[in-house]
């Protein structure tokens, strides 16, 4: 029986999960691929550390040694950061290897170049593990896109932020205390910037957008806002209104343009994200024929992510050619006009005298906290006048709980 | 350019949705398949009825006329009932056509025979539309199963029942009133038996089970219970406990045996089904590597179902051969031992004097309503002694809200 030789770059959570799964599911892999999958090499940083790896596997900190193996079919990359991984993967492609990556930062930055290079060398690129851990979102999008025209992709794609928001709400904790707990549980890094400031979600959104729309928003036009502005007080106000803060990355096609945003928003009970708690991830796809479907599952962790990598391994080996990389079939320019999705906002730190005829006041829900109905551009103007104003979109609309008519509030103008 | 000729059997909601989508997404279909998709014929019952079908399409109530078309590549079946559809599809396969069905009752009963016959004639069978409407559950399961070993599939797969339960809870309505509303909205048939008694969910479960485990439970061993026993009173009690009734079809592999059940159960807030409301469907897959993932979306309706059929069309035409039918790759006997999933129960119509040392009383939540912790077999014994006892499983456990220790309740034994 022929053998598929794999190198794993990095032996952290993901790398080890992939290694273990290849051993534990050897029988299934052989059944599906018609060949034996064998880990030939593991690239590590620290040669001293003790690892549970079979003795016949080359363990090295020198990538060149791996590239010089007599047979190498597939390179799985499970390191973090843009470099040296991008260089490593370029070399692997030029060596004729399929590649699979779990590295969203690198892939968001260099995915396009890698896909192009892989096309040239007739190898395939798998990147299911870059978004949503074990949730098979990339394949589902590919499947849907065969015929559906996607209008919007929305996701809770950063488990750390979702965990912190859940802890803050459920246990009335401060952001700092919830972050500390996330760090203690291994859900957040010592430096949590990438997660809590929205960068991790941004990278994932760019990857989703490329699949869903065949293109990305202009990176500089995407507002990236993390969860650090959210206080226990705001969470409590939202809870009283039947709303919850969720950190949502969203990309939509409006006319021929793709727009993106990464920010905390408020969702109501009827939204499928309302109940996505802790480190779970969820992704919503709105498309023209099927409507809205939601996928929910573990967004990270050793085995969920390993599962995504192994599914890529099967996909990449079965398709074998560059056609695996076609992130999108030629989507006809859809040109549907979208309704403005967000019209209601929760604004905090606002005095009533900062009023504006373009803004409808719906409810006063705290001393300086209001629900308003307005265009985004008018809100931005307000924000400029009145810093530090906090503004959160309420998605899926808002049902006033206040008996005062909206008019009675805006009359005071 | 070559042409793919399609016949659509039935022109109800699904048939018309498929017809319309083939017209509206012609460009995408051609791009994906490299050929033009053309509806050549539509089988209808009533020739008098006015329909919006192009004049070049053969519209007939005589299936033989369709079979005699000079070119026919694919038959889409969107009728209800086991016959004559099963016979129609056998004939289509023998004519060398791929087939796609949206008919769960027929497919649950005759799927195995159709798949075998299709294998023989080297054509493919698509049945994504039989379960979960637009939710791509069949393809997702196939994808997961390439490597994962599925342990359990659970679903809210009957939108009618879920709509009724939601209405009863939200508007404090009786079962009869909620059913009437479902009928008025077109969510329930004039004869709602198939939906509210659990048969529709049962058929879908059998199809899911065949994909997930390569086999079905023994049909006679599957308890099928609908939602007709659920009263407003019970819903109110559940709501006070933070639980909700959901009608869940579930299949698990326990050792080498596949077990199934279709019944109303109680779920807590932490379960992803708690928040699945109205006609939405949701399906949960537990598998060994990835853990639990949930798919949620529209379970029925013209376009969601049409989307599933069209995705099948692409799948069937791209795979072209009988390998499309392999519902499952050879799953190694997994033999994992499963924890008993359901240990807590809500029982109604029970007097305290019907006690049993094998049953732990956890809470009294209504005059004759208790939460108990017990083995299923002991409950069944209790039910035999004391009819008409209503028993509902609480999945994912139960947190007592009662300050009395469980012991203090069982002391009275």
Is A311 within 8 Å of B146 when comparing Cβ atoms?
yes
List CB contacts (< 8 A) between A25 and chain B: 147, 289
Q: Which residues pair with A358 in a beta bridge?
A: none
Q: Is A28 an interface residue toward B (CB < 8 Å)?
A: yes
- Which letter does DSSP use for residue A389 in this model? -
The residue behind tokens 């400031």 is A197
Say if residues B230 and B165 touch (Cβ distance below 8 Å).
Answer: yes
- Determine the pLDDT at residue A405: 37
Is B307 within 8 Å of A289 when comparing Cβ atoms?
yes
List CB contacts (< 8 A) between B27 and chain A: 332
Say if residues B288 and A296 touch (Cβ distance below 8 Å).
Answer: no
Q: Stretch B201-221: mean pLDDT, rounded? A: 91
**Which positions 41-70 of B are in contact with A (Cβ < 8 Å)?**
none
Q: Give SS3 for A401.
A: coil
Q: Where are the beta strands (DSSP E) in A44-92?
A: 58-60, 74-77
CA distances from B19 to A48, B9, B130 (A): 65, 11, 18
Of A144, A307, A332, the CB nearest to B136: A144
- Selected for mutation to probe chain B from A25, A147, A150 (highest B CB count within 10 Å) is A147
In sequence order, what are the residues at sequence separation of 6 or more whose Cβ sits closer than 8 angstroms to the Cβ of residue B408?
none
List CB contacts (< 8 A) between A140 and chain B: 136, 139-140
In angstroms, the CA A306 to CA A344 distance is 40
CA distances from B341 to A167, A352, B263, B264, B372 (A): 27, 54, 14, 15, 15
Instruction: Select the CATH number that applies to the domain covering B149-298 from these four: 3.10.129.10, 3.30.360.10, 3.40.50.720, 3.30.479.30.
Output: 3.30.360.10
For the stretch B100-155, pLDDT in tens is: 999 989 998 999 999 999 999 999 999 888 998 888 888 888 888 878 889 999 99
- Determine the pLDDT at residue A388: 73
Q: Stretch A26-36: mean pLDDT, rounded? A: 88
List CB contacts (< 8 A) between A292 and chain B: 297-298
**Which ranges of B281-356 would DSSP assign to H, the alpha helix?**
302-319
List CB contacts (< 8 A) between B267 and chain A: none
Does A312 score more than 90 pLDDT? Answer: no
Greater model confidence, B80 or B341: B80
- Determine the pLDDT at residue A333: 35
- Determine the pLDDT at residue B338: 35
Q: What is the nearest CA distance from A252 to chain B, expressed in angstroms?
A: 19
Greater model confidence, B191 or A162: A162
Among A211-220, B268-277, B375-384, which is the least confidently predicted range? B375-384
In angstroms, the CA A91 to CA A127 distance is 17
The residue behind tokens 């060596």 is A95
Does A194 score more than 80 pLDDT? Answer: yes
B35: alpha, beta or left, given left = phi > 0 and alpha = psi -120 to 50? beta
In angstroms, the CA A224 to CA B161 distance is 42
Say if residues B226 and B127 touch (Cβ distance below 8 Å).
Answer: no
In angstroms, the CA A323 to CA A325 distance is 5
Say if residues A349 and A391 touch (Cβ distance below 8 Å).
Answer: no
Q: Where are the beta strands (DSSP E) in B44-163?
A: 58-60, 74-77, 98-101, 125-126, 150-156
Is B275 within 8 Å of A294 when comparing Cβ atoms?
no
Is B293 within 8 Å of A27 when comparing Cβ atoms?
no
- Determine the pLDDT at residue B382: 72
Pairing of strands A291-298, A344-348: unpaired
Q: Give SS3 for A301.
A: coil
Among A18-27, A46-55, A174-183, which is the least confidently predicted range? A46-55
Q: Residue B271: closest CA among chain A residues belongs to which residue?
A: A275
Q: Is A333 an interface residue toward B (CB < 8 Å)?
A: no
**Which ranges of B348-396 would DSSP assign to H, the alpha helix?**
376-385
Q: Is B270 an interface residue toward A (CB < 8 Å)?
A: yes
- Determine the pLDDT at residue B18: 94
- Determine the pLDDT at residue B173: 93
- Determine the pLDDT at residue B361: 75
For the stretch A389-404, pLDDT in tens is: 777 777 766 665 543 3
Of B304, B331, B332, the CB nearest to A291: B304
CA distances from A288 to A7, A148, A301, B11, B205 (A): 41, 6, 33, 21, 28
Is A31 within 8 Å of B269 when comparing Cβ atoms?
no
The pLDDT-based confidence of A387 (bands split at 50, 70, 90) is low
In sequence order, what are the residues at sequence separation of 6 or more whose Cβ sits closer than 8 angstroms to the Cβ of residue B14?
B78, B102, B129, B302, B305, B306, B309
Say if residues A124 and A96 touch (Cβ distance below 8 Å).
Answer: no
Is A304 within 8 Å of B289 when comparing Cβ atoms?
yes
B172: alpha, beta or left, given left = phi > 0 and alpha = psi -120 to 50? left
- Determine the pLDDT at residue A355: 62
Give the start-to-end residue ranges of the domains of chain A.
3-133+317-325, 137-298, 344-410
Does B64 score more than 50 pLDDT? Answer: yes
- Which letter does DSSP use for residue A283 in this model? E
- Determine the pLDDT at residue B412: 24
- Determine the pLDDT at residue B9: 96
Return the half-sphere exposure (C-beta side, CA atoms, 13 A cut-off) of residue B111.
28
Transcribe A158-176 into DSSP letters: -HHHHHHHHHHHHTT--HH
**What value does the mean pLDDT of chain B take?**
84
Greater model confidence, A102 or A345: A102
Q: Residue A286: closest CA among chain B residues belongs to which residue?
A: B297
The pLDDT-based confidence of B352 (bands split at 50, 70, 90) is low
Is B296 within 8 Å of A272 when comparing Cβ atoms?
yes
List CB contacts (< 8 A) between B306 and chain A: 289
Is B143 within 8 Å of A139 when comparing Cβ atoms?
yes
Q: In what order do the strands lie in the sheet with A125-126?
A: A58-60, A36-43, A3-9, A74-77, A98-101, A125-126
The pLDDT-based confidence of B353 (bands split at 50, 70, 90) is low
Q: How far out from the chain centre does Cα A218 lie?
A: 17
- Which letter does DSSP use for residue A149 in this model? P
For the stretch B244-279, pLDDT in tens is: 999 999 999 988 899 999 999 999 888 889 999 998
List CB contacts (< 8 A) between B308 and chain A: 290
Task: Supply φ then ψ for residue A404, to 5 degrees.
Answer: -60, 135
What percent of the residues of chain A are helix, what percent strand, and what percent coil, each to the nearest 5?
40, 25, 40
Say if residues A183 and A192 touch (Cβ distance below 8 Å).
Answer: yes
Say if residues B167 and B91 touch (Cβ distance below 8 Å).
Answer: no
- Determine the pLDDT at residue B320: 52
Q: How far out from the chain centre does Cα A15 lie?
A: 20
The residue behind tokens 């309706």 is B301
Architecture, CATH, for domain A137-298 = 2-Layer Sandwich (3.30)
What percent of the residues of chain B are helix, what percent strand, and what percent coil, each to the nearest 5?
40, 25, 40
Does A322 score more than 80 pLDDT? Answer: no
If 0-12 CB within 10 Å is exposed, 13-18 middle and 19+ buried, where does residue A128 land? buried
Percent of chain A past pLDDT 70, that is, above it, reads: 87
Is A274 within 8 Å of B277 when comparing Cβ atoms?
no
Does A408 score more than 70 pLDDT? Answer: no
Q: Stretch B215-226: mean pLDDT, rounded? A: 91
In angstroms, the CA B322 to CA B115 distance is 9
CA angle, residues A96, A100, A106, in degrees to nearest 5? 105
Q: Is A277 an interface residue toward B (CB < 8 Å)?
A: yes
Say if residues B227 and B161 touch (Cβ distance below 8 Å).
Answer: yes
Q: Is B399 an interface residue toward A (CB < 8 Å)?
A: no
Q: Considering only CA atoms, give the Rg of chain A.
A: 23
**What value does the mean pLDDT of chain A take?**
84
Q: Stretch A187-216: mean pLDDT, rounded? A: 90
Q: In what order do the strands lie in the sheet with B58-60?
A: B58-60, B36-43, B3-9, B74-77, B98-101, B125-126
Does B48 score more than 80 pLDDT? Answer: no
Q: Considering only CA atoms, give the Rg of chain B.
A: 23
Q: How far out from the chain centre does Cα A102 lie?
A: 12
Of B275, B287, B289, the CB nearest to A274: B275
- Determine the pLDDT at residue A397: 64
Check: complex ipTM more than 0.90: no
Of B147, B298, B310, the CB nearest to A291: B298
The residue behind tokens 């006809």 is A332
Does B79 score more than 50 pLDDT? Answer: yes
Choosing from B5, B104, B204, B259, the catalytic residue is B204
Q: Which two tokens stand for residue B396?
A: 């994912």
Q: Residue B134: closest CA among chain A residues belongs to which residue?
A: A290
List CB contacts (< 8 A) between A136 and chain B: 140, 143-144, 293
Q: Stretch B270-292: mean pLDDT, rounded? A: 91
Of A29, A134, A289, the CB nearest to B306: A289
Is B310 within 8 Å of A25 when comparing Cβ atoms?
no
- Determine the pLDDT at residue B277: 92
List CB contacts (< 8 A) between B330 and chain A: 28, 31
Say if residues A394 and A265 touch (Cβ distance below 8 Å).
Answer: yes
- Determine the pLDDT at residue B360: 76
Q: What is the nearest CA distance from B289 to chain A, expressed in angstroms?
A: 5
Q: Is A134 an interface residue toward B (CB < 8 Å)?
A: yes
Q: Stretch B349-374: mean pLDDT, rounded? A: 75
CA distances from A1 to A37, A320, B249 (A): 11, 18, 41
**Which positions 286-315 of A are in contact with B (Cβ < 8 Å)?**
287, 289-298, 301, 303-304, 306-308, 310-311, 314
Provide the terminal-to-terminal Cα distance of chain B, rounded to the nearest Å: 80
Q: What is the nearest CA distance from B384 to chain A, expressed in angstroms?
A: 39
In total, chain A counts a number of residues equal to: 413
Does A87 score more than 70 pLDDT? Answer: yes
Q: Is B149 an interface residue toward A (CB < 8 Å)?
A: yes
List CB contacts (< 8 A) between B292 and chain A: 297-298
Q: Which helix (H) or strand (E) holds B362?
A: strand B360-366
Of A135, A291, A307, the CB nearest to B148: A307
Is B298 within 8 Å of A292 when comparing Cβ atoms?
yes
Among A310-314, A396-400, B93-97, B206-210, which is the least confidently predicted range? A396-400
List CB contacts (< 8 A) between A296 and chain B: 272, 293-296
| CATH code that applies to domain A3-133+317-325 | 3.40.50.720
In angstroms, the CA B93 to CA B89 distance is 6
- Which letter does DSSP use for residue B282 in this model? E
Is B298 within 8 Å of A314 when comparing Cβ atoms?
no
The pLDDT-based confidence of B180 (bands split at 50, 70, 90) is very high
Count of CB atoms situated within 10 Å of the CB of A313: 27
Q: What is the nearest CA distance from A21 to chain B, expressed in angstroms?
A: 8
CA distances from B411 to A252, A381, B363 (A): 61, 68, 13
Say if residues A137 and A305 touch (Cβ distance below 8 Å).
Answer: no
The residue behind tokens 């906002």 is A345
In angstroms, the CA A294 to CA A285 distance is 6
Q: What is the nearest CA distance from B311 to chain A, expressed in angstroms?
A: 7
Q: How far out from the chain centre does Cα B294 lie?
A: 14
Q: Stretch A113-130: mean pLDDT, rounded? A: 92
């Amino acid at each position: 029986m022929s053998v598929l030789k794999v190198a794993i770059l990095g032996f952290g959570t993901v790398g080890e999960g992939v290694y273990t799964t290849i051993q534990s599911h050897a029988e299934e892999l052989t059944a599906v691929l018609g060949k034996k999958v064998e880990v030939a090499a593991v690239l590590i940083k620290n040669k001293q550390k003790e690892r549970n790896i079979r003795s016949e596997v080359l363990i090295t900190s020198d990538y060149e040694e791996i590239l010089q193996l007599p047979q190498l079919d597939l390179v799985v990359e499970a390191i973090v950061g843009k470099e040296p991984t991008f260089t490593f993967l370029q070399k692997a492609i030029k060596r004729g290897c399929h590649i699979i990556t779990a590295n969203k930062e690198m892939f968001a930055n260099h995915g396009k170049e890698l896909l192009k290079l892989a096309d040239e060398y007739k190898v395939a690129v798998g990147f299911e593990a870059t978004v949503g851990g074990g949730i098979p979102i990339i394949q589902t999008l590919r499947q849907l896109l065969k015929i559906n025209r996607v209008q919007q992709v929305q996701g809770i794609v950063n488990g750390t932020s979702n965990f912190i928001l859940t802890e803050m709400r459920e246990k009335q904790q401060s952001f700092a205390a919830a972050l500390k707990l996330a760090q203690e549980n291994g859900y957040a890094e010592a430096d949590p910037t990438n997660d809590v400031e929205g960068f991790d979600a941004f990278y994932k959104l760019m990857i989703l957008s490329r699949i869903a729309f065949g293109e990305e928003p202009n990176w500089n036009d995407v507002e990236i806002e993390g969860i650090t502005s959210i206080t226990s007080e705001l969470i409590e106000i939202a809870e009283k209104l039947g709303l919850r803060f969720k950190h949502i990355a969203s990309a939509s096609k409006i006319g021929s343009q793709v727009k993106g945003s990464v920010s905390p928003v408020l969702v109501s009970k009827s939204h499928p994200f309302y109940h996505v708690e802790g480190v779970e991830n969820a992704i919503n796809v709105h498309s023209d024929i099927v409507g809205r479907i939601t996928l929910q599952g573990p967004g990270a962790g050793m085995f969920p992510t390993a599962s995504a990598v192994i599914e890529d391994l099967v996909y990449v080996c079965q398709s074998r050619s560059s056609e695996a990389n076609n992130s999108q079939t030629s989507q006809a320019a859809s040109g549907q006009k979208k309704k403005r999705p967000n019209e209601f906002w929760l604004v905090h730190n606002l005095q009533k005298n900062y009023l504006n005829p373009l803004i409808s006041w719906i409810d006063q829900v705290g001393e300086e906290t209001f629900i308003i109905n307005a265009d985004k551009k008018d809100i931005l103007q307000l924000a400029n006048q009145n810093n530090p104003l906090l503004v959160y979109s309420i998605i899926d609309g808002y049902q006033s709980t206040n008996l005062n008519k909206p008019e009675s509030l805006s009359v005071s103008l």
